[in-house]
């Protein structure tokens, strides 16, 4: 989880004495941005779904039967374009299809999509007898060939999950070679850290769990999941050289789901769940990282933990329209626990012509998290705290065909019920997919702006990034730069290319230009509280992915980030800030 820690030290007309006040805040406990992970992008880690296709490998001679089975698979799968894919959820859902339809076998094939998501294909084989007549699962048969299915009988389906990831990571001149500046006051620092020269470490995790579903009454089914993660790190990483090993519960939730298809073919699905569970909205502009990694939990960069401490979620989907209400308590690191809790409403729909529309309203119902400000808070409000924050968000995607032009946009407004706040964020992306060309290139340009605070006004304008993030193609903006300067008071230009040398290999080069929205950067890295100019850095990077098989996935990157003269001036460094170069490779295996 990308975490930024703001601690209130109101700076009342501090023009000459601002640096002294910032130093005082740091000594008395104010913290720097604490940690940023380059989240791994795997083929079933809540990736955005671009398309869903259902194929019957041995179709019936009766076209109507085929159509009903395809519709049943789509309804039970509950995977829709622009939604988030979960292989565990898909396998559990397809077990219901095999029990209630003449389907003998199903297989889920996930491939990288043209615009950064995944394409999901379900292949089904029909049989003359209903699959519920047979029993399978390791607990019933003792046959290892049944794994990961543990139990499948009389409507009850239980499946196991086991995945491992091993990562090697190296930095040259991390923190631009000056960790003493950019990590000053950071609560995650312990022992030696990456800095001048080259440092490396290895980390990894094992994630094991069990998930199941069983009928209740009518169409209703009860489901749940329980899993744990054992993670470890050794070597000299961004914040520490301590060797750590940590186990913690990840998923722990229960839910009820049901639905039906009317005589006219309208599909209705409802779902209620509660517990430790992952949650994301859209592509992560507002909410993506609902859990924190690093520090004592280890595995900072591989970022295995996603489940919130508590998610209460109600969903209602009618055909292509989804309405969901949520209450969210993220799983933060204890050292920066802000006790932030939020609730909201999210609506998404698909329209003819390739349009996908969405809107979200959320409010922070409780938080101890507070902001820096150049003007003091109204005495009646006590502090410029996150408690009372309201967010209004609208977004769209226009992509009429998988090949061709696509346009994406999102805009959001933040206000606070307790004091005068107006922060804004906006993004726009335009691209083109050449699906029939060699290597199937997709080129795109994205502009994003997250407002900074204007010190000449009493209003607070700095954007609060909340739980934004995801991976380097979502809202982790810059593999290296994001670790220093997060998505607040930021203007980012991104040029990106996707190349497909083969169906299972994808290359993603990026060029970034970063600027500040305001030269007042209180609440960001203390070393960059006041900027000498708007220019921040330029970054070039390349990510390579190899979808080896359904069970194995390999990914790596190289990145080089070049700090600007304005960044050097703001940090007050004597001498040059060095370019930051990083390299990473990981192998994920799911059994």
- Answer yes or no: is pLDDT of 143 > 70: yes
Token digits of residue 163 = 């995945």
- Answer yes or no: is pLDDT of 589 > 90: yes
Distances (CA, A) of 137 to 44, 142, 180, 517: 23, 8, 55, 57
Is residue 152 assigned to a domain? no
Token digits of residue 261 = 């298809």
Angle between helices 87-100 and 63-77 (to 10 degrees): 140
Which range, of 75-84, 129-138, 151-160, 388-397, averages the lowest pLDDT? Answer: 129-138
- Answer yes or no: is pLDDT of 23 > 60: no
- How confident is the model over 560-572, as a mean pLDDT? 86
| Residue percentage of the chain with pLDDT more than 70 | 88
Is residue 488 assigned to a domain? yes
- Which SS3 state, helix, strand or coil, does residue 554 take? strand
Is residue 188 assigned to a domain? yes
Q: What is the DSSP letter of 26?
A: H
Q: How many residues does the chain have?
A: 591
Distances (CA, A) of 330 to 282, 288, 495: 17, 10, 32
Query: According to the model, what pLDDT value does residue 466 have?
Result: 95
Q: Is the pTM of this model over 0.75?
A: yes
- How confident is the model over 196-216, as a mean pLDDT? 95
Residue that wins the pLDDT comparison between 213 and 127: 213
Phi, psi at 26, each rounded to 5°: -65, -40
- Answer yes or no: is pLDDT of 503 > 90: no
- Answer yes or no: is pLDDT of 165 > 70: yes
What is the spatial distance between Cα 4 and Cα 7, in angstroms, rounded to a whole number?
10
Which range, of 62-66, 192-196, 387-391, 460-464, averages the lowest pLDDT? Answer: 62-66
What is the spatial distance between Cα 130 and Cα 151, in angstroms, rounded to a whole number?
17
Token digits of residue 438 = 């060699």
Query: According to the model, what pLDDT value does residue 490 have?
Result: 97
Instruction: Give the DSSP letter string of 494-531.
Output: EEEEEEEEETTEEEEEEEEEEEES-SB-TTS-GGGSB-
- Answer yes or no: is pLDDT of 568 > 90: no
Assign 71 a pLDDT band (cuts: 50, 70, 90).
confident
Query: According to the model, what pLDDT value does residue 264 have?
Result: 80
Query: According to the model, what pLDDT value does residue 14 have?
Result: 38
CATH value at residue 586: 2.40.160.100
User: Cα angle at 132 between 127 and 134, to 5 degrees?
Assistant: 80
Residue that wins the pLDDT comparison between 358 and 82: 358
- Each residue's pLDDT tens digit, 322-358: 999 999 999 999 999 999 999 999 999 999 999 999 9
Is residue 89 assigned to a domain? no
Is residue 5 assigned to a domain? no
What is the spatial distance between Cα 363 and Cα 415, in angstroms, rounded to a whole number?
9
What is the spatial distance between Cα 338 and Cα 329, in angstroms, rounded to a whole number?
10
Burial 128-147 (b: 16+ CB within 10 A, else e): eeebeeeebbbeeeeeeebe
Q: How many contiguous H segments (helices) and E segments (strands) does the chain have?
A: 6, 23
The residue range of the domain holding 213 is 18-49+159-590
Assign 19 a pLDDT band (cuts: 50, 70, 90).
very low
Query: According to the model, what pLDDT value does residue 464 have?
Result: 96
For residue 99, what are the contacts with CB-CB under 8 A and spacing of at least 6?
Answer: 130, 131, 132, 155, 157
Query: According to the model, what pLDDT value does residue 134 have?
Result: 63
Assign 579 a pLDDT band (cuts: 50, 70, 90).
very high
Distances (CA, A) of 218 to 258, 259, 573: 8, 9, 69
Pair 21, 11: CB distance under 8 Å: yes
Token digits of residue 76 = 């039970």
Pair 524, 33: CB distance under 8 Å: yes
Pair 158, 211: CB distance under 8 Å: yes
Assign 10 a pLDDT band (cuts: 50, 70, 90).
very low
Query: According to the model, what pLDDT value does residue 510 have?
Result: 98
Query: According to the model, what pLDDT value does residue 1 have?
Result: 35
Query: According to the model, what pLDDT value does residue 44 have?
Result: 52
Token digits of residue 230 = 């054992």
Residue that wins the pLDDT comparison between 60 and 543: 543
- Answer yes or no: is pLDDT of 374 > 50: yes
Query: According to the model, what pLDDT value does residue 266 have?
Result: 85
Query: According to the model, what pLDDT value does residue 63 have?
Result: 84
What is the spatial distance between Cα 431 and Cα 115, in angstroms, rounded to a whole number?
9
- Which SS3 state, helix, strand or coil, does residue 456 take? coil
Assign 4 a pLDDT band (cuts: 50, 70, 90).
very low
* Torsion 276-210-92-48 (CA) sign: positive
Pair 186, 233: CB distance under 8 Å: no
Which range, of 34-43, 88-97, 181-190, 387-396, averages the lowest pLDDT? Answer: 34-43
- Answer yes or no: is pLDDT of 24 > 50: no
- Each residue's pLDDT tens digit, 457-493: 889 999 999 999 888 899 999 999 999 999 999 999 9
What is the spatial distance between Cα 174 and Cα 180, in angstroms, rounded to a whole number?
11
Q: What is the DSSP letter of 570?
A: H
Average pLDDT, the chain: 86
Q: How many CB atoms lie within 10 A of CB 524?
A: 24
How many domains does the chain divide into?
Answer: 1
- Answer yes or no: is pLDDT of 179 > 90: yes
Which ranges of 112-204 would DSSP assign to H, the alpha helix?
138-141, 179-182
What is the spatial distance between Cα 248 and Cα 297, in angstroms, rounded to a whole number?
8
Residue that wins the pLDDT comparison between 129 and 289: 289
Residue whose structure tokens are 């899993």: 227
Pair 485, 458: CB distance under 8 Å: no
What is the spatial distance between Cα 49 and Cα 105, in angstroms, rounded to a whole number?
23
- Answer yes or no: is pLDDT of 316 > 70: yes
SS3 breakdown of the chain: % helix, strand, coil, rounded to 5?
15, 45, 40
- Which SS3 state, helix, strand or coil, does residue 231 take? strand
Which of 253, 324, 263, 330 minimizes the C-alpha distance to 92? Answer: 253
Is residue 118 assigned to a domain? no
Which of 329, 304, 325 minimizes the C-alpha distance to 316? Answer: 325
Bond from prior residue into 148 cis (ω within 30 degrees of 0): yes
- Answer yes or no: is pLDDT of 541 > 80: yes
Helix (H) or strand (E) holding 356: strand 355-366
- Each residue's pLDDT tens digit, 435-465: 889 999 999 999 999 999 998 888 999 999 9
Assign 82 a pLDDT band (cuts: 50, 70, 90).
confident
- Answer yes or no: is pLDDT of 16 > 50: no
- Each residue's pLDDT tens digit, 378-403: 544 456 889 999 999 999 999 998 88
- Each residue's pLDDT tens digit, 242-284: 999 999 999 999 999 998 878 787 889 999 999 999 999 999 9
Pair 66, 60: CB distance under 8 Å: yes
Phi, psi at 127, each rounded to 5°: -140, 160
């Amino acid at each position: 989880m990308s975490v930024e820690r703001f601690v209130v030290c109101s700076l009342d007309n501090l023009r000459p004495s601002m640096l002294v006040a910032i130093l005082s805040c740091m000594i008395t406990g104010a913290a720097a941005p604490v940690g940023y992970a380059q989240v791994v992008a795997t083929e079933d880690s809540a990736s955005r779904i671009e398309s869903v296709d259902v194929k019957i490998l041995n179709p019936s001679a009766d076209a109507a039967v085929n159509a009903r089975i395809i519709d049943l698979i789509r309804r039970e799968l509950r995977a829709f374009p622009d939604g988030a894919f979960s292989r565990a959820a898909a396998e559990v859902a397809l077990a219901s299809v095999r029990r209630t339809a003449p389907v003998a076998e199903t297989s889920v094939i996930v491939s990288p999509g043209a615009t950064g998501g995944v394409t999901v294909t379900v292949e089904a084989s029909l049989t003359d007898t209903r699959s519920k007549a047979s029993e399978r699962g390791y607990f019933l048969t003792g046959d290892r060939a049944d794994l990961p299915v543990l139990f499948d009988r009389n409507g009850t389906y239980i499946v196991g999950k086991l995945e491992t990831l091993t990562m090697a990571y190296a930095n040259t001149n991390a923190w631009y070679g000056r960790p003493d500046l950019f990590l000053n006051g950071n609560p995650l620092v312990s022992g030696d850290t990456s800095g001048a020269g080259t440092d490396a470490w290895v980390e990894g995790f094992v994630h094991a769990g069990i998930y199941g579903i069983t009928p209740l009454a009518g169409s209703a089914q009860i489901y749940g999941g329980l899993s744990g993660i054992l993670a470890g790190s050794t070597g000299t990483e961004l914040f520490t050289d301590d060797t750590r090993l940590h186990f913690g519960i990840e998923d722990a939730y229960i839910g009820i789901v049901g639905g039906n298809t009317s005589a006219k073919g309208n599909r209705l699905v409802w779902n209620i769940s509660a517990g430790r569970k992952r949650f994301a909205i859209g592509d992560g502009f507002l909410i993506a990282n609902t859990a924190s990694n690093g520090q004592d939990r280890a595995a900072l960069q591989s970022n295995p933990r996603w489940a919130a401490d508590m998610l209460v979620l109600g969903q209602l989907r009618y055909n292509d329209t989804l309405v969901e209400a949520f209450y969210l308590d993220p799983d933060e690191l204890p050292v920066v626990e802000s006790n932030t809790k939020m609730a909201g409403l999210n609506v998404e729909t698909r329209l003819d012509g390739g349009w996908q529309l969405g809107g979200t309203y959320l409010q922070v119902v409780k938080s101890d998290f507070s902001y820096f400000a150049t003007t003091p808070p109204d005495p009646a409000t006590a502090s410029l705290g996150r408690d009372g924050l309201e967010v209004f968000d609208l977004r769209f995607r226009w992509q009429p065909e998988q090949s061709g032009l696509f346009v994406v946009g999102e805009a959001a407004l933040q206000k606070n019920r307790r004091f005068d706040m107006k922060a804004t964020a906006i993004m726009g992306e335009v691209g083109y997919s050449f699906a029939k060309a060699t290597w199937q290139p997709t080129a795109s340009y994205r502009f994003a702006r997250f407002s900074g605070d204007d010190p000449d006004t009493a209003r607070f304008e700095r954007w609060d990034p909340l739980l934004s993030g995801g991976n380097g193609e979502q809202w982790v903006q810059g593999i290296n730069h994001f670790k220093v300067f997060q998505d607040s008071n930021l203007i980012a230009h991104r040029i990106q290319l996707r190349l497909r040398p083969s169906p299972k290999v994808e290359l993603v080069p990026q060029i970034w230009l970063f600027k500040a929205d305001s030269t007042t950067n209180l609440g960001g890295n203390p070393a960059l509280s006041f900027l000498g100019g708007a220019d921040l850095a330029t970054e070039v990077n390349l990510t390579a992915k190899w979808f080896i098989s359904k069970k194995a996935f390999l990914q790596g990157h190289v990145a080089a980030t070049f700090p600007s003269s304005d960044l050097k001036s703001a940090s007050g460094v004597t001498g040059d800030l060095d370019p930051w170069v990083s390299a990473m490779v990981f192998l994920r295996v799911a059994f």
